[in-house]
Amino acid sequence: MTHPLPHPRPLDAAQALDAHLDLIGRDAERWLDLFADDATVEFPYATALGVPGRFEGKPAIRRYFEGMLERFRDLSLRDVRRYPTTDPDVALAEVHGSAIILPAGKRYEQDYVMVVATRDGKIVRYREYWNPAPVVEAFGEALAAGREAAS
């Protein structure tokens, strides 16, 4: 009699957040697999820059991140500070990110607050708060072009 292999336990939100930090910018397919089909990604401060701040469903998330991550070279996320919650399906963290933004080659430094909510081991809501000023400085002309394309 053979014994079936046990199914891996679904990720809790803290594990999903760690996987997100490990995979983003490194392995797009494995990163996208962290998300539920109906997931939402939100950047509440993006609308202040005239760009979309919410993406619904995996196809929209894929389109946004593929285009955005092509601009980030040497993305590094560090100084992660995790904040435990009483809900295993919610995780919070502060993270510092660095990259070189292409094509201009400008250095980008940003502090993020990330909120991850999971259901059945998949991310269903990812919310990322960041300071718009470094975005404007690093993305400049590309940001303006994105605003024009969105209107």
- Cα 100 from Cα 21, distance rounded (Å): 18
Output the pLDDT for position 142: 56
Residue 146: what pLDDT?
47
CA–CA distance, 117 with 110 (Å, rounded to integer): 22
23 part of a folded domain: yes
Q: How many domains does the chain have?
A: 1
d(CA 10, CA 37): 16
Specify if 3 maps to a domain.
Answer: no
pLDDT reported for residue 69:
78
Q: Residue 102 belongs to what domain range? A: 13-150
7 inside domain = no
CB 91 within 8 A of CB 13: yes
* pLDDT averaged over 10-residue windows placed end to end, the chain, 151 residues: 60 94 90 97 93 94 86 90 95 96 90 97 97 86 50 45
Q: Is residue 49 part of a domain?
A: yes
E runs forming strands in 19-69: 35-42, 54-56
Instruction: Identify the pLDDT of residue 136.
Output: 86
Tell me what pLDDT residue 68 has.
80
Structure-token match 């991140």, residue found: 65
Question: Residue 81 belongs to a domain with what CATH number?
Answer: 3.10.450.50
